[in-house]
Structure 1
Amino acid sequence: MDYRKLGESDLTVSVITFGAWAAGGWMWGGTERQEAVDAIRASYDLGVTSIDTAPIYGQGTSEEIVGEAIKDFPRDKVQILTKYGMRWDLTKGELAFKSKNNAGKDIDVHRYAGKESIIYECEQSLKRLGTDYIDLYQIHWPDKTTPISESMEAVQRLIEQGKVRYAGVCNYNADQMREAEQTLTLVSNQVPYSMVRREIEQDVVPYCLEHNKAILAYSPLERGLLTGKIKPGHIFAEGDHRAAYRYFKEENIVRTNAILDKIKPLADDKGVTLSQLVLRWTIERPGITIALVGARNAEQAIQNAEAIRVHLSPDELEFITSQLDELVLVG
């Protein structure tokens, strides 16, 4: 495994980081806890020492699974990345969307990052994770109802108390990052980035390169679309959010697969999977520090971790990118 530092911090994380959203089951059609635990442990055995989770993932389930999976690991050998600012258990802030929990009960999810809420969320996360500190604490989404300075002041307090090591943000644009840094030092921004979703190249990437901030790319496989296994007419399990996700529209599946068919021979020549080729391309992109990749079981986790073994020459990287530049999606 390869490792990279986040910004100017001394926090080193694995280039392939375990993304634990799907492990929580919520919006993914449920979860099998033991399989999720096994997936995290299998990743760790291959050098994936960093795990990204959040309270909202399964309304605590994902953090509990992470805590169970790492309980026997040396704490200083694993990096826990979690988040705050999405509440399903109170009605403050901005209503983000309506959903159902893993039991099928209706819940309202709010974006709220008030000071007292962040302090509370941190305590709850520490309990679920079974640890006394969080390596990277990230606001999950911008909260229009709370000043950025108030949210950042709360995290600064947690850093001073030793409950958090470093502060990051998620889904922030460059202006929001700039404003946040008037209060505390950010080391990273976690944003969506994949072969079919490259908008951050216009705004976030240049800012982060200029100011030495890490970019944590989430959904690099675009929630399974870039595995090449999703075909037109695919039926998702009940509760799987991808059924209504724009990238899984029939026409977008067709157009994406046409591009994947063009680069698959390169993967075949190297004896690797299409997913592994996609991940390697992602972590070689300018400004991208790490790729957050989810897995539902040990087999998927091992395949993700082994993407680090793929080597792509400059010409091969350029060939892949040139194919992607021709892709236009609908909607």
Structure 2
Amino acid sequence: MEYRKLGNTNLELSAITYGAFAIGGNMWGGTEKKEAIDAIHASLDYGVTTIDTAPFYGFGLSEEMIGEAIKGKDRSSIQLLTKFGLVWDGSNKGKGEFFFDAEADGKKIPVYKYASKANVIKELEESLQRLGTDYIDLLQIHWPDNSTPISETMEALEQLIRQGKVRAAGVSNYSVAQMKEAAQTLQLASNQVSYSMLNRSIENDLVPYSQETNTGIIVYSPMERGLLTGKYFKESKLKNDDHRNGYFSQFDLEKVKAFLQTIEPIAKSKNASLSQLVLRWTTLQPGISVVLAGARNAAQAIQNAAAIDLSLSSEELQFIDQQLVKLG
């Protein structure tokens, strides 16, 4: 495994980080607790020392399972990354910015963006309890909250860092303009954003800005929620409550399928899977600090970790880029 310093912090994160959205179950067609915990254990065994989660993932379930999985392990060897700012239980008392209606057990659950100082502190304490720890390595706002001044949110993070409950603070899904505003109050460690072979818009402004300011970039959805593994084109049936039924509709699936067929020989020549090739390509892109990869069982976790061992030549990287240009 490769380990990388995150921006201006002293945090050393595994280049491939365990992304714990899917094990929460909501929006992913459910979860299986034993397999999820096995996946976390396998990740740790294979050098993935960093785990990224959020209270919203499974409405607390993801954090609880991680807490159970790491219980008794050397906490100093694990980096826990979590978030705040998505409220679903009505504790915001009508404040905040409505985001969307989530579904659980057939019921609609209104989710709000809410990042007031009081709520940041409240959510942090709840996350510490669920994760079974007394500090978070990186605490991130989950989505921008237009109802709360950015300075207020950053002041809360600054306070938590002073108290030793948080080692570093970052943002997620922030624009460059929002990052600049946040930086007036607090030096940001990172921005967690969506990035993949099919979604490279951050290369235009966010990557240059982050490189200029020594801010880390944490990437989620590098495999576009499984689309770039190629499995969808062979086993295309998804559960009815799986959000990917709608998510995949934004892509020209025939073009994506043809692109994957073009680059698959590179993976096969290295006895690797398409998902490993995609993950490794992502870790090698300029400005990218670490890449999140989800796994719902031990086998997937091991495969993700092994992707870092894949060696790609400059010619192979150039070929992939040429195919991406054709993909448009």
Please indicate, yes or no, whether the TM-score normalized by the shorter chain is above 0.5: yes
Distance apart, 1:257 and its partner CA: 1.1
Match of residue 144, structure 2, among 142, 145, 151: 142
Confirm or deny that 1:96 pairs with 2:88.
no
What pairs up with 1:91-130 in 2 under 5 angstroms? 91-101=94-104, 103-130=105-132
1:230 match: secondary structure: helix
Distance apart, 1:72 and its partner CA: 2.1
Confirm or deny that 1:53 pairs with 2:38.
no
Matching residue of 2:65: 65
Matching residue of 1:291: 291
Distance 2:250 2:170 in 1: 35
One-letter amino acid matched to 1:198: R
Give per-residue Cα distances to partners, 1:126-167, cap 9 Å, x unaligned: 000000000000000000100000000011111111111100
Distance 2:320 2:157 in 1: 40
1:28 match: secondary structure: coil
Give per-residue Cα distances to partners, 1:219-250, cap 9 Å, x unaligned: 101100000111289231122111111xx129
One-letter amino acid matched to 1:114: S
Give per-residue Cα distances to partners, 1:66-118, cap 9 Å, x unaligned: 111111210000000000000001232111001112x3332001011011111
Matching residue of 1:26: 26
Distance apart, 1:173 and its partner CA: 1.0
The 8 Å contact of residues 21 and 57 in structure 1, kept in 2 or not, is answered as yes
Match of residue 195, structure 2, among 185, 193, 196: 193
Q: Cα gap change, 1:17/1:146 in structure 2, threshold over 3 Å: closer, same or farther? A: same
Give per-residue Cα distances to partners, 1:247-283, cap 9 Å, x unaligned: x129622111110110001111111111101011000
The 8 Å contact of residues 232 and 250 in structure 1, kept in 2 or not, is answered as no
How many residues are matched? 325
One-letter amino acid matched to 1:31: T
Deviates more, 1:83-92 or 1:131-140: 83-92
The 8 Å contact of residues 54 and 84 in structure 1, kept in 2 or not, is answered as yes
The 8 Å contact of residues 194 and 282 in structure 1, kept in 2 or not, is answered as yes
Distance 1:181 1:35 in 2: 40
Distance 2:257 2:249 in 1: 12
Q: Cα gap change, 1:10/1:299 in structure 2, threshold over 3 Å: closer, same or farther? A: same
Distance 2:253 2:12 in 1: 36
Matching residue of 2:321: 321
Distance 1:271 1:13 in 2: 27
Q: TM-score, normalized by length of structure 1?
A: 0.96
Matching residue of 1:11: 11
2:308 match: secondary structure: helix
2:72 match: secondary structure: coil
Distance 2:203 2:240 in 1: 34
Distance 1:233 1:113 in 2: 40
Distance 1:134 1:233 in 2: 38
Matching residue of 1:84: 84
The 8 Å contact of residues 232 and 253 in structure 1, kept in 2 or not, is answered as no
One-letter amino acid matched to 2:313: S
1:306 match: secondary structure: helix
Matching residue of 1:184: 186
One-letter amino acid matched to 1:285: Q
Match of residue 151, structure 1, among 148, 153, 156: 153
Distance 1:3 1:264 in 2: 27
Distance 2:299 2:234 in 1: 25
1:325 match: secondary structure: helix
Q: Is there any run of 5+ residues in structure 1 with no aligned partner, and where?
A: none
Distance 2:282 2:148 in 1: 33
Q: TM-score, normalized by length of structure 2?
A: 0.97
Distance 1:197 1:302 in 2: 26
Q: Is there any run of 5+ residues in structure 2 with no aligned partner, and where?
A: none
Matching residue of 1:265: 265
Distance 1:180 1:98 in 2: 28
Q: Cα gap change, 1:197/1:95 in structure 2, threshold over 3 Å: closer, same or farther? A: same
Runs of 4+ residues deviating >3 angstroms: none
One-letter amino acid matched to 1:100: E
Distance apart, 1:190 and its partner CA: 0.3
Distance 2:129 2:241 in 1: 28
Distance apart, 1:8 and its partner CA: 1.4
Distance apart, 1:326 and its partner CA: 1.5
Identity %: 58
Matching residue of 1:282: 282
Give per-residue Cα distances to partners, 1:183-205, cap 9 Å, x unaligned: 11111100000000111111111
Give per-residue Cα distances to partners, 1:18-56, cap 9 Å, x unaligned: 000001001001100111000000000000000000000
